[in-house]
Structure 1
Amino acid sequence: MIWDSSNLDSALLNLPNEIDSLICSVEQLEEYCENEPYIAIVGGGPKGFYALDSFLSRAKDYLKQPQFKDKKLNVHWYNDNRNFATGPHFNTDLPSYFLVNRCIAEITCWEQHEDEDQHSNKLNLIGWLQKYSNSSQEVKWDHLCTRELLGYYFLDACMSIIKEKHPQIIVHLLKEDIIDLDIEEDQFSLKAKAQDIPFHYDSILFATGHSYQNTSFSYLKSNQNAGYSIIDEIYPIDKLNEIPARAEVAVWGTGLTFLDAMLELTEGRGGIFYKKDEEYHYLSSGKEPIMFPFSRRSLPNLPGNPFSNTKKRKLTFLNDTWLSELIAENKKVDFLNEVIPLLDMEVKYAFYPLIPNFKEMDKEAVLNFLKDDKAEKYFSLNALMDPFSHSKLPSDSNFQEFVVDLSNYCMQMTEFGEFQSPMAAAIGALREGYEQIVKLYNEVGFTAESQKAFLDRWAPNINHLAYGPPREVSEKFFCLMREGYINFLFSEMPSVTQSGNSIRLKNKYIEKDFQFLLNARVPKGNLRLNNNSLFDRMLEKSIIKEWINDSYRTGAIELDEFGKPTGLNENLQLYFYGIPEEGQMVNKDNILRTQNNNAVSWAEQGLFEIQKRYVSGKERGAYDGQNFNLDSA
């Protein structure tokens, strides 16, 4: 079952208009009052909403104090477009063929509380669907949903906290593109693209999400008269309208963003997928281009199978005991030598017991086989990462045929989920192992050389394999590849150069010219690439600095464990949350609040500092990075 907005109570469909009616301009606000606290959240996606919720839920205790009886607490929530709470990726205007890349189990936009009875109105996605669905269909944990439906869930939650906020808290949603920040004594000022913002803020959190420019093919744009076209990003999705029917388009990227482009250029142009004998077929509209994807790995995602906290692979080697012992050593980990061998064992130990020849063997016998260096093994972590090299096929083989055969094999070997299908089991072990690796990275870090290898190669490849699309999308991809709308030409990453009025892709085996080049990758933040003008200006002013791990220059913002720039005056309340933390922390591109929720630290510390600043004659409380105490120390 795939849930979409057609399954919702019709009253919810007005939510986009409700939140849109709250958006205003800076000119409409009351004048700045220096005796009142002001806080700002920059970034209007789900992480910005999470930050707002964290702040509002904690501010209620703050406002119980008699000293604040007549004071207002001003919250300014900025976004560069009108997609508050959803961001572009969960916009309610998205087509229904864009799915959330995980089943609905455990999806929630709320913090987890011990006293759940007091938060019974804060429903997870399953509970919300049970309450607001107009369908007689039972809601099950392994169901899927569309991204636009999840957008309605976010909007409903966001509207609920705004409506239920304390009357002394004034929340304004402001459509402004913030481009600069300055520090004035112990407060901040902001500058928008259109104007200076006439307020001084006591606390600011940046949750700006995917806000980086794609600079990959800038060298091809110097010739203004060139006859080719480069599309730097696929969002908003109507950018793809530039690609004409039947055009051959080179697509850089073979991951989840490519799959969005694939669906928009086929189903989005009137093509129809239908099933016959349990297999997808495609009825063309005649408006589709032919896509030629390429990347460093040049292989598609593997399909993701449903999992939940109670229904997923359990680890044997990278388990919690292993993790605790490594963290307790309190030293940087050599990822390549201390982790990769165990991850290799983990995926093999998940795969082999589900192969017919091994099903009758006990665990000890399987382990002995895996540890025997002389025993030939056709499956391993390296085989999963680089199946073409592992296949030992000639390098000039027909790569399209290889990818079709590989995709067919993987679809068969993942069909029954991670407890019954060998490849699905290996992917599940890879996913769970990566979750442990992320905890290790975030807690103690890796040595410089192994961190570079992890960020450059291993993390992108593991994400590509372990966090694939729903099987439904993989089946559509396989159908389009089989029917000739997707063609994998390049087994190795080609060079991309200008050739007259064309763009030429070339490696040592094949070359081809194109008039259209689509960048279907989401750019990562990198201070060394100057691909975010706001952060560039903050770097120039030494408000932030680059994180350097020994000799390795990461390009990431150096932050403490709570998301605050290191070296900043401790009284200055400036935090980063989500995607801007990538590099210093890993796996921040996540709709769940359970990992590295810096919004809590920001809200608690911000309120603590506001109390010191605006409550005269009261002793300072104590903040230890975990608990916010409004009483005197």
Structure 2
Amino acid sequence: MSGFPSDTRPLVIAVIGSGPRGISVLERLAVRTAAEAEQAGGGTPRPVRVHLIDATEVGAGRVWRTDQDDWFTMNTVVSQVTMYSGDPDGGPDRPGAGPSLGDWIARRARDAGEELLGPDDYAPRVRYGHYLAHVLGTVAAAMPAHVELLPLNGRVTSLRPAAGGGYRLGIDGHEAPLEADRVVLATGHPVNAPGAFEREMLGFAAKTPGTRYLCGDSAADMPLGEDDIPAGSVVGVKGLGLSFYDVMLALTVGRGGEFRTGPDGVLRYRPSGREPRIVAGSRSGLPIPARGRNQKEPDYSHRALFLTPDALEHARQARRALNGSGQLDFEHDVLPLLRAEIDHVYYTTLVRRAQGAAAAEVFAQAHAKVLHEGGDRRALLMEAGLADVEPVDLDALARPFGQEVFDSPEDFRTHLLKVMDEDLAAAELGTLDGPLKSSLDVLRDIRNVVRQAVDYGGLLPASHTGFFHGRFLPVNALLSAGPPMARVEQLRALITQGVVEVAGPDTVFEAAPEAGGFRVGSPRVNGSERIAQTLIDARIPTPDLLRDTSPLTRQLVDDGMVRPYVIEGPDGDRHVTGGLDVTVSPFHVVDSSGRSQPDLYALGIPTEHTRWFTQVGSSRPGVGTLFYRDADAIAADALRPAGPVVLPRQATGERRPAAPARTSVREGEPA
């Protein structure tokens, strides 16, 4: 097959995974093939056949499937979410021009009488699944005549090179393999083999009657019903992040309980009597704080002043002069610039609240000048009335209890509720008018520049593993990706009424054979120890190529068709990341010998650690996000004519990849 328009045999593309990443590639394939048809005039473009394959639900995938309960909620407001690569233009919904999630929900509310959500509300995941299905429907309807789209519900179990080129895909339930010229891996969240702690807990539960241990996964896929977890039993929950809230709701609202606001304005929980008692904990002892009340337009973009591509390049040049490597030390080269960005927004917002927009503009210019010149800002802060206001301390916010020891669970609960109330008050001020939440939102707004520092071995191995992954990412996740305020208010009500107990900082989870259950407690909260019959790990597993239990991944690893990305330092130190190794855009998969495979691509979560923050599940209206550009790059390359391929530099097996190319900082990514 030559791949030119005179061919009669179709170019066959298989997209494995039809969650947001797979649908995004499909949407751009539709846009580009429509352009091909238009450019062909009266001629006939080469035929294209696209197989869209998903093991769970074609058009929504596993995480967003449309049969899940509606208390599992997104953590991005609906106006900031779109799967179309262009905004509506007055015509029908179609690839390249379609509504945001918020606009689509508003239309459905008008036309079908469904619940209306405002632009700054948060949708249930199931509604996003229906939106994804709508997008797929419009893509299918708009495919040009020379393109055939074939959805296929099945699990791909093998992928091997075909004798005449391309690949043969083995699929459960299908005797004959599917043949494809080009394949896109967009397989989403993995299910990992249990680690040491998980194996210990599973082993204990297997030999201890009446106990159960649930490994980390999407809460919608966990057995959380009454037959699995009896009413009145004690449930330990490891982790207080986003998935904790999902588990919490499944065990309360999912058991028939209700939240109601009383005449005094206080939210209370009305139990059904079918709930278990929840005892939860984490290292910090702090449930992930609330997102600020959204005040930003969908196309809002924070203009970075300190953590810029130019600043990173300057730091790389300094590192090269020092040790011959452009790899950065995150703590010393990147974090000070990020902190300056956060402080600048924080102090400027404080001035705007106290003195108005004009005074804030004057202050911002003077403050930026002092920071750029490395001067002392104390006089400027004093003049602005901020002499006694400390800068934002990310570590203190993420670990608000420090090393304090609490006399009793009641003592800790009092402190915890105070922290939660202060956070909710800060969140209510908003993401533009609230000094704290607007400054923490910088962590989201500036992710693309952080990516430029981190991706493709941009950090020294020790810095990547020690500081970036070990210290920064937990703090960043806790402070930048929280749930809606309503979820935190619900948790507060459950804590107040004794349905949920947070054990405290440095929570210990362990088997307690003598008690016939799992011990949950904080060494810093006297009297906090509880015995649980069920222990749930409410942490989403981190992607790890070598622990992924998928038959497809196992086969690809065993056959040497994929390999984990390895960061190599200037002194020969190495770190195996666990992320699937891919080239720079358009993300060709790199095999075990370091060769790029030009007809095999990988996108999204499987490539986490090679690239950073790949779990983004949508684009933003009016903004050319990296989510959209990644999908378009793969679509363009997958449609290329057959012939020699100029491989990206990473594919040549060089010892350490070059720093990634710069990208615009005017990019917003939902989270």
Q: Is the 8 A contact 1:41 1:78 kept in 2?
A: yes
> Quick one: which of 586, 597, 608 aligns to 1:582?
608
Q: Is the 8 A contact 1:38 1:74 kept in 2?
A: yes
> Quick one: which of 156, 164, 172 aligns to 1:178?
156
Aligned residue number for residue 622 of structure 2: none
Segment of structure 1 superposing worse, 309-318 or 455-464: 309-318
Residue 556 (1) aligns with residue 531 (2)? no
Aligned residue number for residue 231 of structure 1: 214
Q: Deviations 1:239-261 (Å, cap 9, x if unpaired)? A: 11111112111111211111111
In structure 2, distance between residues paired with 1:71 and 1:313 = 43
Shift of 1:137: 10
In structure 1, distance between residues paired with 2:42 and 2:565 = 41
Q: Is the 8 A contact 1:313 1:425 kept in 2?
A: no
Residue 368 (1) aligns with residue 355 (2)? no
Q: What is the one-letter code of the residue matched to 1:544?
A: V
In structure 2, distance between residues paired with 1:584 and 1:73 = 31
> Quick one: which of 523, 526, 529 aligns to 2:547?
529
Number of equivalenced pairs: 582
Residue 278 (1) aligns with residue 265 (2)? yes
Give the fraction of aligned pairs with identical amino acids, expressed as a percent: 21
In structure 2, distance between residues paired with 1:401 and 1:160 = 52
Q: Is the 8 A contact 1:333 1:444 kept in 2?
A: no
Give matches, 1:425-574, under 5 Å: 425-442=438-455, 445-452=458-465, 453-500=467-514, 501-505=516-520, 508-509=523-524, 511-550=529-568, 551-562=574-585, 563-567=587-591, 572-574=598-600
In structure 2, distance between residues paired with 1:558 and 1:235 = 29
Aligned residue number for residue 232 of structure 2: 246
In structure 2, distance between residues paired with 1:481 and 1:156 = 39
Q: Is the 8 A contact 1:333 1:446 kept in 2?
A: yes
Change (3 A) 1:429 1:480: same
SS at match of 1:387: coil
SS at match of 1:414: helix
Q: What is the one-letter code of the residue matched to 1:303?
A: A
In structure 2, distance between residues paired with 1:571 and 1:580 = 16
Residue 416 (1) aligns with residue 429 (2)? yes
Q: Is the 8 A contact 1:298 1:493 kept in 2?
A: yes
Structure 2 alignment gaps of length 5 or more: 1-6, 321-325, 368-375, 569-573, 620-624, 650-660, 662-671
In structure 1, distance between residues paired with 2:647 and 2:561 = 23
Segment of structure 1 superposing worse, 472-481 or 598-607: 598-607
Q: What is the one-letter code of the residue matched to 1:207?
A: A
Shift of 1:343: 2.8
Shift of 1:291: 1.4
Shift of 1:340: 1.8
Q: Deviations 1:99-142 (Å, cap 9, x if unpaired)? A: 32121223211114899989785222344345443269997532
In structure 2, distance between residues paired with 1:59 and 1:598 = 17
Segment of structure 1 superposing worse, 519-528 or 317-326: 317-326
> Quick one: which of 294, 307, 310 aligns to 1:318?
307
Shift of 1:309: 4.7
In structure 2, distance between residues paired with 1:290 and 1:337 = 45
Q: Is the 8 A contact 2:353 2:433 kept in 1?
A: no
In structure 1, distance between residues paired with 2:151 and 2:377 = 57
Residue 394 (1) aligns with residue 375 (2)? no
Change (3 A) 1:530 1:612: closer
In structure 2, distance between residues paired with 1:624 and 1:342 = 30
Structure 1 alignment gaps of length 5 or more: 1-32, 614-619, 627-633
Change (3 A) 1:394 1:161: same
SS at match of 2:441: helix
Change (3 A) 1:262 1:162: same
Aligned residue number for residue 201 of structure 2: 220
In structure 2, distance between residues paired with 1:215 and 1:238 = 15
Q: What is the one-letter code of the residue matched to 1:226?
A: T
Aligned residue number for residue 142 of structure 2: 164
Shift of 1:440: 2.9
Shift of 1:395: 6.3
Aligned residue number for residue 200 of structure 1: 179
In structure 2, distance between residues paired with 1:489 and 1:54 = 48
SS at match of 1:458: helix
Aligned residue number for residue 133 of structure 1: 109
Q: Is the 8 A contact 2:78 2:121 kept in 1?
A: yes
Shift of 1:383: 1.1
Change (3 A) 1:290 1:160: same
Change (3 A) 1:349 1:604: closer
> Quick one: which of 291, 294, 301 aligns to 1:304?
291
Change (3 A) 1:50 1:535: same
In structure 1, distance between residues paired with 2:105 and 2:352 = 44
Change (3 A) 1:570 1:335: closer
Q: Is the 8 A contact 1:53 1:161 kept in 2?
A: yes
SS at match of 2:152: strand
Segment of structure 1 superposing worse, 414-423 or 500-509: 500-509
In structure 1, distance between residues paired with 2:648 and 2:331 = 35
> Quick one: which of 340, 343, 347 aligns to 2:342?
347
Aligned residue number for residue 123 of structure 2: 145
Q: Is the 8 A contact 1:252 1:517 kept in 2?
A: yes
Shift of 1:482: 1.8
SS at match of 1:468: coil
Change (3 A) 1:519 1:499: same
In structure 1, distance between residues paired with 2:521 and 2:636 = 54
Q: Is the 8 A contact 1:231 1:518 kept in 2?
A: yes
Shift of 1:529: 3.1
Q: What is the one-letter code of the residue matched to 2:558?
A: E
Q: Is the 8 A contact 1:214 1:523 kept in 2?
A: no
Aligned residue number for residue 72 of structure 2: 98
Q: Is the 8 A contact 1:41 1:207 kept in 2?
A: yes
Q: What is the one-letter code of the residue matched to 2:109?
A: S
In structure 2, distance between residues paired with 1:570 and 1:343 = 34
Change (3 A) 1:266 1:66: same
SS at match of 1:133: helix
In structure 2, distance between residues paired with 1:571 and 1:120 = 29
Alignment RMSD (CA, Å):
3.7
> Quick one: which of 617, 621, 638 aligns to 1:606?
638
Shift of 1:145: 2.6
> Quick one: which of 273, 282, 289 aligns to 2:276?
289
Shift of 1:492: 0.5
Aligned residue number for residue 19 of structure 1: none
Shift of 1:221: 2.3
Shift of 1:315: 4.6
In structure 2, distance between residues paired with 1:326 and 1:141 = 40
Q: Deviations 1:189-209 (Å, cap 9, x if unpaired)? A: 122344554232110001111
